[in-house]
Amino acid sequence: MLLTNFYNWFNRNKLRAVHELDYPQEISGIRLRFKRRRNDWQPHLNQTKKIILQGVEYCTQRRKAVLIGAALLHDIPLEELASQFREVLLIDVYHPFWSFLKNRRFRNVFRINFDITEYIDLLVKSNVEESLPLVPLSKLYLEDPEIDLVVSVNVLSQLPCMPIRFLEKNQPRTEQELDQLAKDLILAHLSYLDLFSCQVVLITDIEMQTINVMNNVVARKDLMYGINIFEDKVSSLSHSATAEFDRIPTNRTDYQEWEWRLAPCPEVNSKFSYFRKVVGFTDWKKYRLKSSA
């Protein structure tokens, strides 16, 4: 609890960056779209919750669970987590007031305001005359030996969005610079997840699909900016950990894939629907070991 207050106090100074990058408005937009599209979103939200709970089954201890990108709580099985873990730590760059209303009945659930890229503050202080600041590696909770579960919940593809929008509006940068920044933000988050020794669950959308009225996919956008999260080699996992790999049941290193009907026609456009391809890994670290073996 003390630590939670510390993080929130420390991050008060970064509130300016959060507002300058329009996160509160973005979150409010997601909430409004969810209200309009609740039925279309439900299979995706249920699937996300299922993957998180499958990950929980592999936790040998249940002291602290960390959920990154949790603000709106649509896709978080909060009740189950709160009853199984001693503490549930919800991390988001911005927590809207209404999420407080949802979690106030759980005394062991804490909301922590934190930019998991640790970048947006550097960005608003940057200057167009200089090159972009380098993306750091987050250290949040890496030193806490009581963390037994880390879940990255539909946040990975979002990490570059607001920084890039901010740059497009405020600092002319080349397309190459923007692409490189997006890649660096995504890779830094994957490397951060690699550094935990506990159970790690990763759920992320990886592709945006444009679908016409005949139900054909007419365009695809790679939300991972060319990073192949299925195959890119592990960088920071210790080599000795691979010895453990043989004893892991196969299904534990698999992933599941599904569709998120984000904006069916005419939500955004009268001719096209916009869907997302989502993947969920119940045991992301073991999957990384397997793909690098």
Which one, 95 or 285, has the nearer CB to ligand SAM?
Answer: 95
* Other beta carbons within 10 Å of 139: 10
Amino acid identity for residue 179 in this structure: D
Please report how close the Cβ of residue 83 comes to ligand SAM at its closest, in angstroms.
Answer: 19
Please report how close the Cβ of residue 74 comes to ligand SAM at its closest, in angstroms.
Answer: 3
Q: Are 154 and 73 in contact (CB under 8 A)?
A: no
Pairing state between β 255-263 and 217-222? unpaired
Please report how close the Cβ of residue 70 comes to ligand SAM at its closest, in angstroms.
Answer: 5
Helix residue spans in the chain (DSSP H): 2-12, 15-20, 23-57, 78-84, 97-103, 120-124, 161-170, 175-194, 284-292
Which one, 114 or 287, has the nearer CB to ligand SAM?
Answer: 114
Distance CA 137, CA 140 (A): 9
Which one, 109 or 116, has the nearer CB to ligand SAM?
Answer: 116
DSSP string, 152-164: EES-GGGTTHHHH
Please report how close the Cβ of residue 173 comes to ligand SAM at its closest, in angstroms.
Answer: 19
The binding site for ligand SAM (CB under 6 A) comprises: 23, 27, 30, 69-75, 92-94, 115-117, 153-155, 158-159
Q: Are 188 and 136 in contact (CB under 8 A)?
A: yes
Distance CA 10, CA 118 (A): 12
Which one, 211 or 223, has the nearer CB to ligand SAM?
Answer: 223
Partner residues linked to 211 by β-bridges: 217, 273
Reference 292, options 235, 234, 237; nearest CA is 234
Please report how close the Cβ of residue 218 comes to ligand SAM at its closest, in angstroms.
Answer: 24
Reference 212, options 168, 274, 130, 161; nearest CA is 274
Which one, 51 or 116, has the nearer CB to ligand SAM?
Answer: 116
Distance CA 162, CA 154 (A): 15
Please report how close the Cβ of residue 96 comes to ligand SAM at its closest, in angstroms.
Answer: 9
Which one, 156 or 289, has the nearer CB to ligand SAM?
Answer: 156
182 backbone dihedrals φ, ψ, rounded to 5° = -60, -45
Please report how close the Cβ of residue 242 comes to ligand SAM at its closest, in angstroms.
Answer: 31
Which one, 115 or 289, has the nearer CB to ligand SAM?
Answer: 115
